[in-house]
Amino acid sequence: MSQAVSYDIEGTVGVITVANPPVNALSLAVRKGLLDAVSAAQDDASEALVIVCSGRTFIAGADITEFGKPPEEPFLPDLLDTIEASKKIIVAAIHGTALGGGLETALSAHYRCALASAQVGLPEVKLGLLPGAGGTQRTPRLAGVQAALDLITSGNPIGAPRALELGLIDKIVDGDLRKEAIAWAHELHEQGAAIRKSSEQPVPAFDAGLFEGYRATLAKRARGQIAPQHIVACVEAATQRSFEDGLKVERELFLECMASTQSAAMRHLFFAERQAAKIDGLPKDTPKRPVESVGIIGGGTMGGGIAMSFANAGIPVTLIEIDDDALARGLSIIDKNYGASVKRGKLAPEQASRCRELITGSTDYASLTGADLIIEAVFEDPALKKATFARLDSACKPGAILATNTSYQDVNEIAAATKRPEDVIGLHFFSPANIMKLLEVVRAEKTADDVLATCMSLAKTIRKVPVMSGVCYGFIGNRMLQPYFREAQLCLIEGATPDQVDNAMEEWGMAMGPIRVADLAGIDVGYKARQALPEDERGDPRASRVPDVLAEMGRLGQKTGAGFYRYDPDTRKHSSDPAVIEIIEREAAAFGIERRDIPDDEIVDRLVYGLVNEGMRIVEEGIAQRPGDIDVVYVYGYGFPVWRGGPMHYADAVGIRRVYERVCEFQDRFGAEAWAPAPLLVQFATEQV
């Protein structure tokens, strides 16, 4: 048929084998090969057909190298129509993963078997798309409306046993999948089994109110995204229209999603995440150090979360605290977190127990003698961190990787506190560390290549998304927060309210507005950081005055029940506080600021373009390797809306020239220093003219 698809007859069964490594993606060659094989088999000596894949997986989706290119025939929907129309029974034999178009291919076959370890799913929504080859029409006919909505709107795969329960597959087999599938296809033929087309199955009975319920839920869970709502419309069409008419709805809405800026943004992130894992100039064959045990200094919320991240990946952890009481508190936090994971259904009780057993505690640095990686997670006090590393230098074995979890501090200075700076690296986890996916891997001046390669690889082992950063104050993410929070505070003192600033950013798509973020993180965090800096490095005093006043009043945010907002002690629900408005107005008057009405779009542009302008500096300085790395940081670590693609992609989508002109406008209105356009922004804007 082609190099990607082969066809042969074993006994009485025709076997179509897809071989397109590494994941048997539905490339043009695969589509052509499948079409040719199914067509040729209609008139040969075979009695039934099996579609099976070589390698480690069934068809795992579309060919990402074809993204953005004009589609070529045969189109997948037409191919699947041909498979379903076969006059001979076709069995799809699934192992590994059948995802997206791969699952749609399997659903177009008449019967499906799978190994128990297989997974199936329709993850298109994660790229701002929906299944475009009948997935929204065949799935509800086989699995029912609710299961179809769950599967397609979440984009998450399910295991073969669950797929069997739902009717998406018909049989789980053991042993040799190819052999068992051939035997089953022969058996089906001998028994006179029907040519069973998914498209002709009736949709099982369902609650008509499901659709509105899903629309309401998705409006909150996937705020601003069009693909999830379109998926609901497609599944609803499957219940109200013929299969053919349902396909027309699916195709129309699929093409709308494909042409949208949202899908373009999410596809950008798909590639940016993969690119971020690559280090320019670091050879692929760079050796990696073994990491079979980990030590963590500091058993607070961050240290405990980091410990769970490694234990959840099966790596033993030793947690070090200053005394028995502190250690007991740290381990109790971990116990509570595992209990919460079980309660939420994220871990089975036995899984949580196994993971918890991998975490032990000690108050003696001698317990770290055999550890391969030690992560310091103590307070953000540079003197304390340097003292900790000096102790690690003598306590840890040669070749152990010494990592700091600092959010801001100079990793070069921390490394200089040891006699082995080549073994030192920054691993900036985000809180809660056992949940948040981002990991900033901070490469210090003397960090060895094998240390860097090890940590980038290890991030994937513990299911984190790694992005390499150079050394500067705040690295990539927190450095960019400075203009973001500065503008949020300036908008407050110039005339906005906390509610207006937060609502403007949340309506735009941010997971949480900046004022609520400050309350959640603790107003004292920024206050202490500013107090530790020389006065001339603390930034615009107008931007820090209100939070400083609140901190000095003991209004530290959620943890004290009051910050910029008041918080219900039971629900933590926030509410506006007139006392804060009075403080803002008083401090504005002290600065001689005449407060004004600020449009929401000005708030959004000031905060987002502040991010973009600083991001341009970070790329130009080499702190980030590429703009896409910044996008990955902000989507995975800071609640930036995935459907906007990250701040740098958003700037591209808006138009760099437009961003530059707006920054110049803000420079004229608000201050030459704070809003000076980054040289790279000037360059890109000039090139666009």
- Taking the whole predicted model, whether its pTM rises above 0.85 is answered as yes
595 burial type by CB count under 10 A (0-12 exposed, 13-18 middle, 19+ buried):
middle
In three-state secondary structure terms, 473 is: coil
Run of H or E residues at 278:
none
Every domain of the chain and the residues it spans: 5-258, 294-469, 477-622+655-688
Nearest to 128 by CA among 216, 215, 229: 229
> What per-residue confidence (pLDDT) applies to 2?
66
Q: Give 204's DSSP letter.
A: P
Q: Which CATH number fits domain 5-258: 3.90.226.10, 3.30.70.1060, 3.10.129.10, 3.40.50.300?
A: 3.90.226.10
1 neighbors 12 (Cβ within 8 angstroms)? no
168 neighbors 143 (Cβ within 8 angstroms)? yes
What letter represents residue 150's amino acid?
D
> What per-residue confidence (pLDDT) applies to 534?
84
pLDDT < 50 positions in the chain: none
Backbone angles phi, psi at 87, to 5 degrees: -80, -5
Q: Which two tokens stand for residue 14?
A: 């025709």
Q: Which CATH number fits domain 477-622+655-688: 3.40.50.700, 1.10.1040.50, 3.40.50.300, 3.30.590.10?
A: 1.10.1040.50
Please write the tens of the pLDDT for every residue from 377-432.
Answer: 998 888 999 999 999 999 999 999 999 999 989 999 999 999 999 999 999 999 89
Place of tokens 């987002």: 608
Distance CA 398, CA 391 (A): 14
> What per-residue confidence (pLDDT) applies to 673?
86
Provide DSSP, 21-40. Answer: TTTT-B-HHHHHHHHHHHHH
Backbone angles phi, psi at 293, to 5 degrees: -155, 150
Measured CA to CA in angstroms, residue 389 lies from 95, 416, 417, 421 at distances of: 47, 9, 6, 10
289 neighbors 372 (Cβ within 8 angstroms)? yes
530 neighbors 408 (Cβ within 8 angstroms)? no
Provide DSSP, 400-466. Answer: -EEEE--SSS-HHHHHHTSS-GGGEEEEEE-SSTTT--EEEEE--TT--HHHHHHHHHHHHHTT-EE
Distance in angstroms between the alpha carbons of the first and the last residue of the chain: 50
Question: Bridge-partner residues for 424, per DSSP?
Answer: 402
Nearest to 372 by CA among 394, 404, 392, 401: 401
Provide DSSP, 96-148. Answer: SEEETHHHHHHHHSSEEEEETT-EEE-GGGGGT----SSHHHHHHHHH-HHHH
Q: Which two tokens stand for residue 270?
A: 């798909």
> What per-residue confidence (pLDDT) applies to 1?
56
Domain 294-469 has CATH 3.40.50.720: yes
546 neighbors 587 (Cβ within 8 angstroms)? yes
C-alpha 261 chain-centroid distance: 19
Q: What number of other Cβ atoms are within 10 A of residue 258's Cβ?
A: 20
Residue 349 CB partners (closer than 8 Å, separation 6+): 342
Residue 110 designated active-site: no
C-alpha 265 chain-centroid distance: 13
Which of 230, 428, 574, 649 is catalytic? The answer is 428
